């Protein structure tokens, strides 16, 4: 583990990949992290109404943003309705 970046083996074995752990405060990223979590050729895609639809690109991009922005800033920019929905989802998830 490097700070809040885990290095984990890819599913099925073989190469390793980075796993980001967003925290309350913003965390810096380096070029290696940027390359690993942005879409191929750094191009954004929209396909049938889905943003970044391939290879978990949307999830990786979101993790990169949350890691670099920090969870506290993320919560502050959410509309109140979204905060309430997020709180409800988190409570459900923690029960399971």
Structure token digits, residue 43: 């191009």
Predicted pLDDT at 13: 56
29-51 confidence digits (pLDDT tens): 988 888 888 887 778 888 888 88
pTM (2 decimals)?
0.78
56-65 confidence digits (pLDDT tens): 888 888 999 9
**Spacing of C-alpha 56 from chain mean position:** 10
Burial bucket for residue 31 (CB in 10 Å: 0-12, 13-18, 19+): exposed
Domain residues for the domain of 21 are 5-95
14-30 confidence digits (pLDDT tens): 565 678 889 999 999 98
Predicted pLDDT at 9: 46
Q: Which residues neighbour 74 within 8 Å (Cβ) at sequence distance 6 or greater?
A: 66
The domain tally of the chain equals 1
């Amino acid at each position: 583990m490097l700070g809040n970046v885990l290095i984990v083996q890819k599913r099925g074995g073989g190469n390793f990949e980075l796993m980001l752990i967003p925290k309350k405060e913003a965390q810096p990223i380096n070029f290696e992290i940027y390359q690993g979590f942005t879409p191929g050729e750094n191009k954004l895609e929209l396909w049938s109404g889905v943003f970044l639809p391939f290879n978990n690109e949307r999830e990786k991009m979101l993790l990169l943003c949350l890691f670099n922005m920090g969870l506290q800033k993320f919560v502050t920019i959410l509309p109140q309705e979204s905060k309430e929905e997020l709180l409800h989802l988190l409570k459900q998830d923690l029960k399971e």
